[in-house]
Chain A
Amino acid sequence: MLEYIRSYLSSDQTPGAAGNMFWAAVYILLVFLGLSVAVIAMNWLERKILAHMQVRLGPMRVGPHGLLQPIADALKLLLKEDIMPAEADGFVFWMAPLLVVLAAFTVFVVVPFGPTHAITDMNIGVLFMLGVSSLSVLGVVMAGWASNSHYPLIGALRSSAQMVSYEVAMGLAVVSAVMMTSLNAEGTGTLSMIGIVQAQQAQGVWFIFKFFPLGLIAFFIFAVAMVAETNRAPFDLPEAESELTAGFHTEYSGFRWSLFFLAEYSAMIAVSSIAVTLWLGGWLRPFPNFLTGPTWDLVFSLFPGITFLLLAAMCFYSTVRMPKHPLFRVQTIGLAGFGAALALIGLVLFVPAVRVRVEDIYWFSMKVAGFMYLYIWYRGTFPRYRFDQLMKVGWKILLPIGLGVLILTATVGLWPVIQQTIWHP
């Protein structure tokens, strides 16, 4: 048994590829846990950042700076009464949130947090991610129909129309990135998520900068389509509060509603990680070409620890600035403890053995976190599109540009071959 567990550590494969059940289970648990924590953190950060963008304070009551707010929210949702409308279709109503959550979490099976830090590596990785995340549309449609009420039905119809039409533009952008992986000696590309990042490593360029500006345009199309695909502002018509109350999940409450919430945020993380893998070099650190050498490697590998130490410093700074009233004593001690925990994690991340293993996960998460911030930023700044405008952008702008980029990428990629056949037959 111990031998079985230890045998994986010396291999340089993902647990899925090595066929090691124990480590696969550990990875699945870790990813699940990390995702839940990320969703909780996102909840707090979104409210806080949005509030600051609108010159408000945001949640301040529960815990110092509202840090415990997401926990309070979660408790509230769990204790709330779970209402099912009398005229609803019971089984479908019950299935819909489960299906959405299942689709949102299954996608993470192939997300590569590092060359060996993925649950498994499939040779149809990107296809799998797009396919499984497209299943979540079904959950949305089911939820809207099963509620047997007008707003959810309209929301579900809007959502399905939107997601199906933006999937096309998204697919075209993805294909042009996959095409770039085939520019090697053998001329065969790959669809595996790890393979795509390794192709970027081998070609020495992130695909966003490849064939400038073709990679950038494809990335832009994907970035727009992924916001529409996750039903977020400015494309949040399926749940437009001012028109449809809450769209497809109007009739849901309590725990089922929180499942939709969880699914939405993990779907956001999932599409962001597709974007990071395809265009932003996945787990590769920034500037791999300019800042080379062991010194720079060391500097970049110190980043994870420094980040945590910075967070800890922020905590301590806030601890000092806490009101000196006896009623705030518990909060002050709690914040200081939280800061100490962060500092401890930061110090552990400086240990060479840990440092090497964690670096790729850190860069991947930081890139995804950047996308998460963009999501909040969009929500704070862009007004919502009208539905016909949304369809027009999808079909008349993104799709033709996507097709053009696809053809141009193929032409530029095959240019040496074309040149040879035309000028030197």
Chain B
Amino acid sequence: MTIGGVLVITRKNAVHSALALIITLLAQAALYLMLYAPFVAGVQIILYAGGIMVLFLFVIMLVSIERTVKERQFNKQWLVGIIAAGTLGGLFITVYTKGKDIFPDPALAAVEMQNTQNVGNLLYSQYMFAFEIASLLLLVAIIGAVVMAKKRI
């Protein structure tokens, strides 16, 4: 996953970056699998690797690569970069050293066979409101896209 992530930002060719991003996303699906969340892993593969990344590639392929290869890849904002990296690193170190005290004990791993059912139950009971808000957001996005694409409705 790390190799994929590094490749995403270092490749000069945008299509290669997108392919590396796919590897990263697949590795993330594998992480979900190891966390006993097969449903999330499956959805991750279908939506991100199979759907969204194809559209990504679709757009990137139509951009001429000759121009992008010549472009300068990194900008010169060292200070911001160092601060961001330092903060993230500090966070990681804190979590790694004191993680046992900060986080509650992990709940007993759910039975693997009922993962999908549990996700469904939670979505439609405890997190109903968030779920509906998210779907409303998507609907607004679709309408916005249609309005922008059509000159005359």
Contacts and interface: CB of A to CB of B under 8 A. Distances in A.
Given A134-B51, A138-B57, A157-B61, A92 B19 contact: yes
B115 A138 contact: no
A92 B61 CA distance: 13
B50 A131 contact: yes
Contacts of A153: 61
A274 interface: no
Given A123-B112, A127-B39, A141-B57, A135 B15 contact: no
Q: Output the residue of B13, B55, B57, B62 with the most chain A CB within 10 A.
A: B57
Interface in B58-115: 58, 61-62, 112-115
A161 B45 CA distance: 18
A134 B50 contact: yes
B10 interface: no
B50 to A, nearest CB: 3
A131 B47 CA distance: 8
Nearest to B61: A145
Given A92-B15, A92-B19, A138-B53, A123 B116 contact: yes
Mostly, the A contact residues are helix
Given A123-B115, A188-B117, A132 B57 contact: no
Contacts of B114: 188
A167 interface: yes
Contacts of A122: 38
Nearest to B39: A124
A160 B50 contact: no
B30 interface: no
Contact of A164 (B13, B22, B54): B54
B46 interface: yes
B96 to A, nearest CB: 32
B128 interface: no
B49 interface: yes
Interface in B32-53: 38-39, 41-43, 45-46, 49-51, 53
A191 interface: yes
Contacts of B16: 92
Interface string A120-150: 0011100110111011011001101100000
B15 A127 contact: no
B11 to A, nearest CB: 11
Contact of B46 (A92, A134, A161): A134
B57 A128 contact: no
A160 B19 CA distance: 15
A67 B45 CA distance: 41
A164 B39 contact: no
A49 B37 CA distance: 46
Given A135-B45, A142-B19, A157 B58 contact: yes
B46 A127 contact: yes
A164 B49 CA distance: 12
Contacts of B54: 137-138, 141, 160, 163-164
B67 to A, nearest CB: 16
A161 B22 CA distance: 18
A131 B42 contact: yes
A137 B47 CA distance: 13
Nearest to A130: B46
Contacts of A132: 45
A132 B53 CA distance: 14
A138 B55 CA distance: 10
A145 B56 CA distance: 13
B42 A128 contact: yes
B42 A127 contact: yes
B32 to A, nearest CB: 11
Interface of A: 89, 92, 122-124, 127-128, 130-132, 134-135, 137-138, 141-142, 144-145, 153, 156-157, 160-161, 163-164, 167, 171, 188-189, 191
9 contacts: A134-B50, A138-B22, A138-B53, A141-B57, A141-B58, A167-B51, A171-B46, A188-B117, A191-B39
